[in-house]
């Protein structure tokens, strides 16, 4: 049972790592992309903030009851 559990966990982790690894190798082949931003064309020192307000609006508190030790024992 322990071995089966370990195999299951290892398969899931190995599939994820294999997918990420090969995706990284695939991305090496793609170097042509649409430019969607212009950060490198912002003139040095031109960014000027004239207004900077952080206004607190409200707060909300959610509380969740902790499971009782008795209830755990019954389960």
Q: Could you list the residues that contact another protein (CB under 8 A)?
A: 2-3, 5-7, 9-11, 13-15, 17-19, 21-22, 25-26, 28-43, 46-66
- Rounded to an integer, what distance in angstroms lies between the CA atom of residue 24 and that of residue 30? 10
With b meaning 16 or more CB within 10 Å and e meaning fewer, what string describes 32-48? Answer: eeeeeeeeeeeeeeeee
Closer of 2 and 73 to another protein (Cβ): 2
CB of 73 to another protein, least distance (A): 17
CB of 67 to another protein, least distance (A): 10
DSSP states along 15-36 = HHHHHHHHHHHHHTT-------
CB of 69 to another protein, least distance (A): 11
């Amino acid at each position: 049972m322990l071995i089966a559990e370990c195999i299951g966990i290892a398969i899931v982790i190995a599939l994820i790592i294999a997918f990420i690894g090969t995706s990284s190798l695939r991305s090496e082949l793609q170097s042509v992309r649409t430019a969607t931003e212009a950060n490198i064309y912002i003139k040095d020192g031109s960014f000027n903030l004239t207004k900077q307000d952080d206004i607190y609006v409200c707060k909300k508190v959610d509380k969740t009851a902790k499971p009782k030790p008795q209830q755990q024992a019954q389960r």
